[in-house]
Structure 1
Amino acid sequence: MIYHAARLVGLLEAYAIYDPEIGYCQGMSDLLSPIIAVMEEDDAAFWCFVGFMRKARHNFRLDEVGIKRQLKIVSQIIKRKDSHLYRHLQKLQAEDCFFVYRMVVVLFRRELTFEQTVCLWEVMWADQAAIRAGIGRTTWGKIRLHAPPTDDLLLYAIAACVLQRRKLIIEKYSSMDEILRECNSMAGQLDVWRLLDDAHDLVVNLHDKI
């Protein structure tokens, strides 16, 4: 445990030097810890983290432009899928979906177990790799995959997580703080396979509308 923590600190310090514009921010350790758990060599773990952060670094910008864009997408997914829930969120002045802020920043790391996190991230990376390989929506239509690859699978999964709790949110919660507490208490309660199934269903139905 001490060795793991020392590696974590050392690699985060190295990243702060490598990327001084972003430096170190709270939440980065959540993203790095699964990487060093599966990679024994620090140099390999560092460059893997650098590659990971190319996609995630906008989550740590001071202006929060990246976070706001992603929260807006989550909000749009919920609005398109469940207008009743969305109207309830509007009533609570929570339609900006700020209550899932942590999920966006650390990519579900605090809500999922280590094994679940690795599973979700690998599916996300597979989608991103498919897009880089040119397997986009047109190709998807020809080969009839269950859901087209998307750069925003994480956001569909977050929206799915909220939608799974729609009844609870609508019937019992009367403030954004209550929804936030619910979201922050999900650790260990999520079924990652159901989450991915629901997320892919949302992608199938909404990918051309978001």
Structure 2
Amino acid sequence: FLKRGNFRCTNSSVGVETQLSSLASITQVLDPKLHQHLETLGGGDYLFAFRMLMVLFRREFSFGDSLYLWEMMWALEYDPDLFTMYEEPLDLASEKGEESKGKVKPINQFGKFERDNMKCGGKNAEAPPISVFLVASVLKDKSSKLLAEARGLDDVVKILNDISGNLDARKACNGAIKLHKKYLKKANKT
């Protein structure tokens, strides 16, 4: 489910572009100093994170940690209506979507991440997926190194490539969930 969103097109962008834009917004809110540094280096479009989102961190984590991570992402973002949206023909899915709009599903049928999004402002289809917060968690973890050593986009890419296979999935997941909660709190204040 998660990777399909990378290729979903709208009038203004492709799914992965939307996620990169969300990553920029999240970083700007949660780590403005890092965001400004990346902007100064010409990396405000966050294209250096493209690979992480497209292959869902397969190179950044060991194979076992990748499986753990993917299962966690799928469980957190579970939406009971999501499967039918992808698997039914488009005309039937839109009709069913119209029918189910009146029916409110109990909040306990959704994944933890989706429940948190719903509690903080209703079901928002534009809410960034947990994978974006995972990238933000990795950036936050490497923030001091990026601020101290990155003098250009090549340095940013090198620093992020050096982490390949050396990240801890549980630590990254915990960081992503903390960042998500912090982001929702700050977003609700504005």
Match among 95, 107, 129 for residue 78 of structure 2: 129
Identity level (%): 27
| Aligned residue number for residue 129 of structure 2 | 152
8 Å Cα contact 2:77-2:130 kept in structure 1: no
In angstroms, what is the RMSD of aligned CA positions?
2.6
Match among 141, 148, 161 for residue 138 of structure 2: 161
1:191 aligns with 2:175: no
| Aligned residue number for residue 47 of structure 1 | none
| Aligned residue number for residue 67 of structure 1 | 16
Counterpart code for 1:118: L
Q: TM-score, normalised by structure 1?
A: 0.63
Of 180-189 and 123-132, more deviation after overlay is shown by 123-132
SS for the counterpart of 1:74 is: helix
Which structure has more relative contact order (CA 8 Å, sep 6+)? It is 2
Structure 2, gaps ≥5 residues long: 82-108, 121-126
| Structure 2 Cα separation of the partners of residues 155 and 131 of structure 1 | 21
Seen in structure 2, the aligned counterparts of structure 1 residues 57 and 174 have a Cα distance that, compared at 3 Å, is: same
Give the CA deviation at 1:87.
1.0
Q: Point out the structure with the larger helix share.
A: 1
| Structure 2 Cα separation of the partners of residues 138 and 166 of structure 1 | 26
Q: Which runs of 4+ in 1 moved over 4 A?
A: 60-64, 138-141
| Structure 2 Cα separation of the partners of residues 62 and 153 of structure 1 | 20
| Structure 1 Cα separation of the partners of residues 128 and 25 of structure 2 | 16
8 Å Cα contact 2:37-2:147 kept in structure 1: yes
Match among 57, 69, 77 for residue 108 of structure 1: 57
Q: TM-score, normalised by structure 2?
A: 0.69
8 Å Cα contact 1:128-1:151 kept in structure 2: no
Deviations 1:22-60 (A, max 9, x none): xxxxxxxxxxxxxxxxxxxxxxxxxxxxxx4xx423435
